[in-house]
Amino acid sequence: MTTVLKLFLSFIFATICHWACMAFFGEVGITVNVMLIFSMVVCAYLKPEFGYPTVFLSGLFLDFFGVKLFGCNAFVFTLCACAVYGLEKRLDFDGVIPQIISIFFLTLGAGLLNLLLLKVFTGFSAWSGFWPFAAGITLNAVLTPFVFKILRRVFALEIKIS
């Protein structure tokens, strides 16, 4: 129950950060996906029973505020969560470098998959150019260690038990 409450509050905090970053970096054309980082960090620290629903709801939450393909983010986020749980035993998520590298590639994959799904299901291309895309991925990767640090504190008890 405590974990659910913590997840809920973290989710609320993540949404605020997501919109703040979107508004702040949106002015220069960069898209920072804080919700994706949050979801992946939750998967890195919590069991799948908590991870998958959180990831799915985070994606769905973005879909509700998106305009094109409903369910796209939920799908992509869930796939990314599968990747995190798959990498869990091979990567040490306590290190900053694995954190940055994993989120960098996950964001890259998520971005490309999003574009592909949009193209396939709606015929719409959301490609905003190479540099904004690359900058968004890089910024996501840079922000990752901070999110890991915050959530590590929040879920310290759950991490110890697992």
By CB under 8 A, name the binding residues for other proteins: 12, 15-20, 22-24, 48-49, 52-53, 55-56, 59-61, 63-65, 69-72, 74-75, 78-79, 81-82, 85, 117, 121
The residue among 121 and 146 lying less far from other proteins, judged by its C-beta, is 121
Closest separation in Å from C-beta 25 to other proteins: 10
Q: What one-character DSSP code corresponds to residue 155?
A: T
Closest separation in Å from C-beta 122 to other proteins: 9
Q: Vertex 94, ends 108 and 12: CA angle to 5°?
A: 65
| Token digits of residue 38 | 């949050």
What is the total residue count of the chain? 162
Closest separation in Å from C-beta 130 to other proteins: 26
The residue among 44 and 100 lying less far from other proteins, judged by its C-beta, is 44
CA dist., res. 107 & res. 51, Å (int): 17
The residue among 40 and 55 lying less far from other proteins, judged by its C-beta, is 55
Amino acid of residue 96: V
Closest separation in Å from C-beta 26 to other proteins: 9
| Token digits of residue 34 | 């804080």
The residue among 17 and 151 lying less far from other proteins, judged by its C-beta, is 17
**Burial (CB count within 10 angstroms: exposed 0-12, middle 13-18, buried 19+), residue 43:** buried
User: Tokens 């749980």 appear where?
Assistant: 85
